[in-house]
Structure 1
Amino acid sequence: MNDPEAIPDPAAHPAIRPDSTKDKCRDSPQMLVELDKLLKLAGPMLFVSLLQFGIQMLSVMFVGRLGELHLASSSLTTSIAGVTGYTVMIGMGSALETLCGQAYGAKQYAMLGVHAQRAMLVFGILSIPISVLWIFTGPILGVLKQDPEISAMAGESAPWLIPSILPFGILQSQTRFLQTQGITVPQMATTAVGCLVHGVVCWVLVDKLKMGNSGACLANGVTYWVIVIVLAGYIKVSSSCQETWKSFSLEGARGVLSFLKLGVPSAFMMCLEFWSFQVFIVLAGLLPDAELETSMMLISLNTAAVVFRIPNSLGSAVSTRISNELGAGNPGAARMAVRVVLLLAVSQGLLASSIATATRHVWGCIYTDDKILITYLSVVAPKIAVCNFIDGIHGVLSGCVRGCGWQNCGAYISLGAYYFVGIPVALLFAFVWRYGGEGFLLGIIAGSSVKVILLLVVTVSIDWEDEAKKAKENVDACSMQQ
């Protein structure tokens, strides 16, 4: 019984080491540390996102007081601008989450400024065709057989948005430049100032100078330029950015292709999803009770977009954490960030879905006094709740993909999920099986579910050690281009 050979040697049998049961426990402190890092990034980003939404709502409030025609025209103009301009800029800007994030993690601090300058150059060039498109908004809407009166007013006001597109693009560069360094407070402060400025400018242009929709559009440009200038001043004088921002130089004009290789698929990754939702709104106008169905879709998607700001902020946070850690050569920390953010996504998804279901009978009252529409919204609320939950998962998984620089893969997934699954399923339910507008929501659920499954497969298959090596190679290659 006391034979030493009868006692297993812990070194020879690592599976039964005395402390092997503690390995999983060691993850708990690491998860708490990662949770703290993610929330410190995601919280301010969510605050900034809500403030930016507040800027949009201020415009709607001022225009809405002018009458239904002005409100309908403003909604159409905003939709056109979002589809053809703002969403494209946001999507391309997300490429900096990878490029700047990995450079910061690898301590190649000067490259952050270079990447940001390359993005600004691309946005400056891109703003030209977008501006031309907005000039011809009226004729384009006429070709699309939209209401003549609404189209005419939208055509008059859309060109007044042109001053906003360049500062909006620059703002995407500044935001990602600061975000990947973990600098978030200045963004909150400047966006809050922007909200106040926007309210004053809207009051002057819309109410005092009687510029109507055109004044509200012009106010966007004024507001974004104010935010950009204030942030630029902070970046210039702050000690936090001394190593990452030197000055504008010719280096920013070199290697633009390296930005476009990620920027273009990043734009498609986001735009393909957003465009599919606009398709559903247009198709709702072809249903028997078009006004009711369109109103339901607009309210439902607007609500979903507001709720999506939570997982989208988490996605941006985890993208930053992953790119930082891969750039620093810490694949284990990047893997841990994915685990923690998925737990957060599931938790917030369950909470958001529960709230949507519990408030389904009063939810519609926020938007309308029409009892029929309120009842209809209460019926579709559970489906919106499911959308919120699924969107929460794919929102953070998309962030994981961006952090690794897999935007090409993400673009193909968005294309397949929404255009080969989501839209066809929606058409079947809405027009063939006569589910009406509910069929479109079922199509969104189908498309988003496929996207989640594919993104999960991609995320699970990631070789984090290999991704860390690739990140180092990418950072070194970008540094050599200077």
Structure 2
Amino acid sequence: MAGGLETLCGQAYGAGQFEKFGMYTQTAVISLAMVCAPITIIWIFMDKILILIGQDTTISMEARTYALWLIPALFASAILKPLTRFFQTQSLIFPMIISSFLVLCFHVVTCWALVFKLGLGHIGAAISFSLGTWLNVLILLCFAKYSYACEKTRVSFSTKAFLGIREFFGLAVPSAAMVCLKWWACELLVLLAGLFQDPKLETSVLSICLTVSTLHFTISYGLGAAISTRVSNELGAGNPKAVRFSVCTATFLAIAEALTVTAILLGCRNILGYAYTNDGMVVHYVAVMTPLLCASIFTDSLQAVLSVFNIQELLEEVGGNMLEPM
């Protein structure tokens, strides 16, 4: 849902409407925090929901336990996602790099300590992720509060932020729908795998493939985020030629990156599974699935970049009037 900010904040910044830029960020935080409440309820009853649709009881119980410990991270994300758009649309990438690096170091140490030293297993991984997410929020908040680079767009909290909730949802829901349909299709495959005769094998193979796809998608997502910033800034400043040039450049980079990654995965398909498990059967089926995985990755790369322009068009149609001068 925070994807709506890529258009709103980007164009507001490009048009020099800095106060409105800050208000959009505050509205997004409030709106996403509201959305976290119903999601939390779903996570609390996740085991019953999964069992109801025919999933393995043991897997369902463990999934619920893992989700419960991720609830703090859920609320942290309601702040983190708008914050990243706040920095991204100002082209302030270095603070996010530093923050991500510090959180990564923290996560590796805490995850190792909680999972292996304290023997908490997957619960320890969830706790580590939640702590890391809140650390990321605190670092970025401090930078936004005290950095000179954010002086123009820094605004005090105002009740005006509540007035924009309805408009924000009008943009956020279409943005979220496009993202959710993509990810839900992947998660549906995992749920269907749990209905087969050997659910542990099927879900293991699919989980590994989806993990590889997700790891790669961070590259495509990063490229898409960069081009989204460029497009929205240039649209706000009224430079259509720069927008068209950005489209061509991003498409070329996406194709080159996708070809490189798929070639590496195909060459390593027989050993790819060993990065996640020592089970020979799982490794074998991961190798069988790799060509299909590569096809998915290639189309994902193009989709992640080209969808940016479609999202920009849709959100402008839905909420273009929101960028009128204050």
Give the letter for the 2:287 counterpart. Answer: S
Deviation string, structure 1 residues 168-203 (Cα, Å, up to 9, x no partner): 110000000100000011111112222233344445
- Structure 1 stretches lacking a partner, 5+ long: 1-91, 410-469
What SS is found at the alignment partner of 1:93?
coil
> Which position in structure 1 is the counterpart of 2:323?
475
Structure 2: distance between partners of 1:350 and 1:160: 38
Residue 279 of structure 1 corresponds to 188
* More displaced 10-residue stretch of structure 1: 316-325 or 136-145: 136-145
Q: What letter is aligned with 2:236?
A: G
Offset at 1:147? 2.9
Q: 1:373 to 1:216 in 2, by over 3 A?
A: closer
Matched, 1:131 2:36: no
Identify which of 363, 370, 376 aligns with 2:285: 376
1:361 corresponds to 2:270: yes
Q: Indicate conservation of the 8 Å contact 2:55/2:191, yes or no.
A: no
Instruction: Give the % identical residues.
Output: 38
1:93 matched to 2:2? The reply is: yes
Distance in structure 2 (CA, Å) of the matches to 1:203 and 1:290: 28
Between the aligned partners of 1:286 and 1:254, the Cα distance in structure 2 is 46
Change (3 A) 1:221 1:381: closer
Letter in 2 for 1:250: T
Q: Does 1:172 align with 2:20?
A: no
Amino acid at match of 1:180: T
CA contact (8 A) 1:265 1:407 kept: no
Superposed displacement of residue 208, structure 1 = 6.2
Decide whether the 8 Å contact of 2:55 with 2:195 is kept in 1: no
Q: Does 1:224 align with 2:224?
A: no
* 3-state SS of paired residue (2:227): helix
- RMSD of Structure 2 on Structure 1 (CA): 2.4
- Which blocks of at least 5 consecutive residues in structure 2 are unaligned? none
Q: Measured at CA, do residues 156 and 356 of structure 1 come closer, stay the same or move farther in structure 2, by a change above 3 Å?
A: closer
Which residue of 1 is the match for residue 294 of structure 2?
Answer: 385
One-letter code aligned to 1:475: L
Give the distance between the partners of 1:387 and 1:157, measured in 2 at CA.
Answer: 28
| C-alpha contact 1:322 1:404 (8 A) present in aligned 2 | no
**Aligned-pair distance for 1:388?**
1.4
In the alignment, the residues of structure 1 paired with residue 283 and residue 114 of structure 2 have an alpha-carbon distance, to the nearest angstrom, of 34
CA gap of 1:197–1:359, structure 2 versus 1, over 3 A, is closer
1:315–1:400 contact (8 Å) kept in structure 2 = no
**Which of these residues, 256, 259, 263, is aligned with residue 350 of structure 1?**
259
Give the SS at the match of 1:101: helix
What's the CA shift for 1:381?
Answer: 2.0
Q: Is the 8 A contact 1:98 1:404 kept in 2?
A: no
Hey, what does 1:452 align to over in structure 2? none
2:12 aligned with 1:103: yes
Q: Is residue 202 of structure 2 the alignment partner of residue 293 of structure 1? A: yes
Question: Which structure has more RCO (C-alpha within 8 Å, separation ≥ 6)?
Answer: 2
Q: Which residue of 2 aligns with 1:184?
A: 93
Is contact 2:54-2:195 (8 Å) kept?
Answer: no
Matched residue, 2:22: 113
Distance 1:130 1:408 in 2: 29
Equivalent AA in structure 2 for residue 122 of structure 1: S
Query: Cα gap change, 1:292/1:138 in structure 2, threshold over 3 Å: closer, same or farther?
Result: closer
Alignment-mate amino acid for residue 355 of structure 1: I
Question: What is the rounded CA distance, in whole Å, between the counterparts of 1:234 and 1:271 in structure 2?
Answer: 31
Task: For 1:450-469, list aligned pairs within 5 A.
Answer: none
Q: TM-score, normalised by structure 1?
A: 0.63
Superposed, which structure 2 residues align to 1:195-234 within 5 Å? 195-202=104-111, 205-206=114-115, 211-234=120-143
| Cα distance per residue 1:399-443 (max 9 Å; x no partner) | 22233344899xxxxxxxxxxxxxxxxxxxxxxxxxxxxxxxxxx
Structure number with larger C-alpha Rg: 1
Kindly tell me the number of residue pairs found equivalent between the two proteins. 326
Letter matched to residue 166 of structure 2: L
